[in-house]
Structure 1
Amino acid sequence: MKNIILATTALVATAGVAAADVSISGYARFGATYSDNADDWNTASRLRLQFDVSTETDGGIVFGARQRFQTEENLSTGGATDPNNSNGARFYMSTNGFTLAMGNILGVIEAAPNLYLPTASSGMGLEGNGFYSLAANTSSNGGRFAWTAYDSAGAGAVEGVEVLYSMNGFGAHIHSTEYSYGVGANYTFSGYTVAVAYEEWDAAAPGGQVDGDSILFASIGGTIGAFDVALAYASTEFSGVEADKWSLKGGYDFGTGLTVYGFVASEDVVDESYGIGASYDLGGGVSLEGGITQTDEALDDTIVSLGAFFSF
């Protein structure tokens, strides 16, 4: 890895800049959430601004970075101690399907295909509803931020180095941080993608992981006409607690702007969780989002989130 970094430094010093690009994108959402356990409705909102900068050398090597700024009312979905913050940057160089990145890295589990639902929130409804649809999000690992992931909220980001390769439908991904290492691979064929990813910790981490903790994730997903469907499995071990979880999720596009989606998940430590939601496309990047989730017996809650979402 040190040789790769030294080679990258040499390229910066010797290659001329041929093109540069700066883009700003993001999204906003606002609406309401409800928890049956709390028996209370609350307002919820988020504004995310994403800055992507890149430049390309005369030799065709792209150097870039990503930075996010996020304002959030509902701290429970942001995973931050301060709802108004910027996150750590991710830096990368890319050429011929090969990418070397460092800083606020993606992580092999977080980047694995079919981990999330293909919805505006990546989960159910406007805010994800706890992301029980994720096979890797088991009751034993304390939540979806237990694995190494690109941190959007600014607090608790784990710095690391990762290498990604993609060519002819095949993808490979490895990462290394102060606390863990990970490896993953995926392959796309005939509209379907199969994936496997593994992360193991060798030191106590800020997320509560200890030496020997691990996540194994595997999935297959694709489209069948107007349907999209994915089946995912994860085996997790955190602080001596092991769990296996399956998640079946999918959606149907009616072709009228309305998409209905849902999931059912089963974990051996607790019973099933399930949810159903809908999205209505108003055009111009604007949609109405709503969803309801019944959690597993560990929390035994009914969660609702609904409202407006728009991207730019």
Structure 2
Amino acid sequence: MKKVLLTSTALVAFAGAAAAEVSLSGWAEMGVIGGSDITSQFFNDVDVDFTLSGETDGGLTFGANVDLDEAGDNLGNETDDMGIDVFVSGEFGTVTLGDTDGALDWALTDPAGVGSPGTIADDETAHWGRQDTYLDGSYDGQILRYDYSYEDFGFAISIEQDDTSDYALDEQDRDAYDYLWAIGAKWSPELGAGLLKLGIGYQEGDFGEVGFGLTDQMVDDLSEIVADASEEDQDALSAIFGFRANSDEADELTVALGENTKVWGLSAAYEMDNGFSVGAVYSQWDGDNVEGDHWAIGAGYTFDAFTIHANYGEHSFEGDSGGELDTDGYGVALGYDLGGGLSILGGYGKSEYDIKVGDVDASDDFDTWSLGLSMSF
């Protein structure tokens, strides 16, 4: 990736700083997308990353990462997004605060990214069989993480704070949640003709939920089924899986794990020198209202300028008082590297769900596809 470096004495915040610089990088995408309940349409996405860094006379590194993303969503509407994190690093390790991964997510390998060239619309990662955030974002999304690496071994611990205002807490009739914390470790030794990646972690909080977005057609189909159900079943569906027909909450299925939520997970991946990569992950979820698990596998292969990748995963959740939700999905990505940072990318993803609450028994599926150019700068 080509980077533009901007350095001058104006970037030095303190006279004693040994070095300071700003690096600029990014990527852009253009093409066409489509799928279930999505009109086939043009698509473009631009992402710009700024990295600000400096170093003290004593060798302490400090800086910030700013990610500016302006993307067209699946309906063609423009959306803006920005992620910021600030870090301090030294022999003691690295402390990061902001839009960053919690220790569990940091430690585990995502099979949807193993040997993948990517797609312009994230078809291979947006399906309902994938999981990569765990409980991160259950509160305000601002995470404080400490991580330390020594040779092949890495360790991390993180916390996320509930910063809801006193007024909002009164409106919700609840107290502030305790910190959401996580711990994780990974080991990446060279093994035979490749690199082995092992990860394990644990996350715990006062509250947790997992959301799965529904297309407009899926909302209408599920609403018709729910409309014929008893009021008791409708209340249970809303309480356990966050869906109530013809309401503002009807755009997704939200698994309300409840209070005292815990998640643990482990992963393994192997990246071979011959271009083949494979990975798998498993996690178990438990809360006062719902318990469940998730597993996924993925593999990729690169030969010459071509890269091919596929992954598959499943979620299974069961309410303590009844009700089940099973989701699964797979994604495929194909890439051809034209050189100089330009690639041709194609992808396909499909998701399915099956939900049972009382007399409500519904299932549905949707798919997405994309084809276009990815430009790395």
- The partner residue of 1:278 within 307, 315, 334 is 334
1:5-63 Cα shifts (integer Å, max 9, x gaps): xxxxxxxx999311112101111112222223x16313332111111011011111101
Change in Cα spacing, 1:236 to 1:31, as seen in structure 2 (3 Å) is farther
1:194-213 Cα shifts (integer Å, max 9, x gaps): 00122222247898765322
Q: What SS does the aligned partner of 1:111 have?
A: helix
- Paired residue type of 1:73: G
How far, CA to CA, are the matches of 2:147 and 2:373 in structure 1?
35
Q: State which structure, 1 or 2, has the greater radius of gyration over its C-alpha atoms.
A: 2
What is the percentage of aligned positions where both structures have the same residue?
Answer: 24
- The partner residue of 2:199 within 183, 192, 195 is 195
- Residue 117 (structure 1) aligned with residue 113 (structure 2): yes
| Structure 2 partner of 1:241 | 290
Change in Cα spacing, 1:234 to 1:56, as seen in structure 2 (3 Å) is same
- Paired residue type of 2:135: W
Change in Cα spacing, 1:70 to 1:44, as seen in structure 2 (3 Å) is same
| Structure 2 partner of 1:42 | 41
| Structure 1 partner of 2:135 | 147
- The partner residue of 1:83 within 56, 79, 83 is 79
Contact 1:98-1:163 at 8 Å conserved across structures: yes
**What's the TM-score once normalised by structure 1's chain length?**
0.78
| Structure 2 partner of 1:263 | 311
1:163-207 Cα shifts (integer Å, max 9, x gaps): 010111101111111141111110011210100122222247898
Displacement of 1:75 in angstroms is 6.4
- Residue 297 (structure 1) aligned with residue 348 (structure 2): no
- The partner residue of 2:123 within 129, 145, 148 is 129
Displacement of 1:113 in angstroms is 4.1
How far, CA to CA, are the matches of 1:133 and 1:301 in structure 2?
9
- The partner residue of 1:215 within 259, 263, 271 is 263
Superposed CA RMSD: 3.1
Contact 1:285-1:311 at 8 Å conserved across structures: yes
Displacement of 1:83 in angstroms is 1.1
Unpaired runs of 5+ residues, structure 1, are 1-12, 138-143, 150-155
- Paired residue type of 1:243: G
Q: What SS does the aligned partner of 1:110 have?
A: helix
Contact 1:234-1:245 at 8 Å conserved across structures: yes
Contact 1:70-1:85 at 8 Å conserved across structures: yes
Number of equivalent positions: 279
Query: After the TM superposition, which residues 152-191 of structure 1 pair with which residues of structure 2 at under 5 Å, given as runs?
Result: 158-179=141-162, 180-190=180-190, 191=195
Q: What SS does the aligned partner of 1:131 have?
A: coil
- Paired residue type of 1:301: F
Q: What SS does the aligned partner of 2:106 have?
A: coil
Change in Cα spacing, 1:276 to 1:120, as seen in structure 2 (3 Å) is closer
1:79-112 Cα shifts (integer Å, max 9, x gaps): xx9712433x211110126001223332224323
Unpaired runs of 5+ residues, structure 2, are 1-12, 163-179, 212-253, 317-324, 355-363
Contact 1:136-1:217 at 8 Å conserved across structures: no
